[in-house]
Amino acid sequence: MFEGLVVLEYLELGIMPFYPKNPEIGTTDRKANRKFRKIWKKVARQIGIYDHVSTPGLRPGSITMYTRKMIVHRWIKKRVLAKYNNNRGD
């Protein structure tokens, strides 16, 4: 059930869900890619690792892209946990 909520959060943000167990699944939609870039930069700056995973002027390699996707995936998982744990009413 939790993974379903994570996928819904991806879709609410307007980006393609990332599946760590199957990282080949992706999208070529320009709008979704632009939203993803905006989100990963925001998250990387928040946690202070933007300088380590940015590649100004260069295309990121596959390892760098996987790292970025994992950064966003962890952020979304934390966001879902906070969102639905606060709404439980326990």
Is residue 79 within 8 Å of 2, Cβ to Cβ?
no
Residue 90 pLDDT more than 60?
A: no
Distance CA 49, CA 74 (A): 14
| Res 24: pLDDT | 66
Is residue 29 within 8 Å of 16, Cβ to Cβ?
yes
Q: pTM of the predicted model, to two decimals?
A: 0.80
Every domain of the chain and the residues it spans: 2-86
Residue predicted with more confidence, 9 or 30: 9
Is residue 20 within 8 Å of 9, Cβ to Cβ?
no
pLDDT, tens only, 48-81: 988 888 888 898 888 888 899 999 999 999 999 9
pLDDT, tens only, 14-33: 888 887 776 666 666 788 88
